[in-house]
Each structure stands twice: as C-alpha cells, then as structure tokens.
C-alpha cells in the first residue's frame, strides 16, 4: 500500500522568501518502515537527510518538482526549494 504524505517547504526567489507550499510524496509501507527503522537506529536529527537515501531522494525530487512548477506559475526565474530540515505535516 502507498501513502500520500504532504511535506511543506519554503519557496525562495534568490534569497527572498516567497511563500510556503506543500509537495506530496507517495511512500510505500516498506519505505515508511525502513525510515522508521533508520530513525530508531540513531538517525534522529529531524532533518530529511536523516532518512534512507532512496526516501530522501523521493521527497527532495517531489519538493524540487513542485517548486519548479510554482516558479513557472508565478513567473519567477531563479528558484530554490528548501526542505531539508522539515518534517511531514502533522495533520495527516
């Protein structure tokens, strides 16, 4: 089974804060369990980089894809999504 999990991220244009948006990531039961096991094994700083590589890559890619779409929609040239220190939204 897969779960659609929201991750919020800040959108920056250059160094200027624009807004906070939400990107959704589909994670399988296996990926969620692996993430929980990884955290329980001592990787618990609260940063996304402290997740298994494949899970982190999936979340990062979803955030960057969403940020790119938002930049095009808002007609902003340079974009940078920051999500490394964020956790899934609580109201899932």
Task: Examine the pLDDT at 67 and tell me if it is beyond 80.
Answer: yes
CA angle 55, 83, 3 (to 5 degrees): 40
> What's the CA gap between 75 and 63, in Å, rounded?
18
Give the tens place of pLDDT for each residue, 22-39: 999 999 999 999 999 988
> What's the CA gap between 18 and 26, in Å, rounded?
26
In a domain, 87, yes or no: no
Cβ(56)–Cβ(91) below 8 Å: no
In a domain, 88, yes or no: no
**H or E element that contains 31:** helix 29-40
Pairwise pLDDT comparison (7 vs 80), residue with the higher score: 7
pTM: 0.72
Number of structural domains found in the chain: 1
In a domain, 60, yes or no: yes
> What's the CA gap between 79 and 53, in Å, rounded?
24
Question: Which residues form the domain of 26?
Answer: 2-82
In a domain, 31, yes or no: yes
């Amino acid at each position: 089974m897969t779960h659609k999990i929201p991750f919020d991220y800040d959108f920056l244009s250059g160094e200027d804060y624009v807004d906070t948006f939400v990107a959704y990531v589909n994670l399988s039961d296996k990926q969620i369990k692996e993430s929980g096991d990884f955290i329980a094994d001592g990787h618990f700083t609260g940063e996304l980089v402290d997740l298994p590589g494949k899970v982190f890559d999936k979340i990062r890619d979803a955030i960057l894809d969403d940020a790119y779409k938002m930049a095009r929609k808002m007609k902003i040239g340079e974009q940078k999504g920051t999500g490394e220190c964020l956790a899934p939204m609580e109201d899932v």
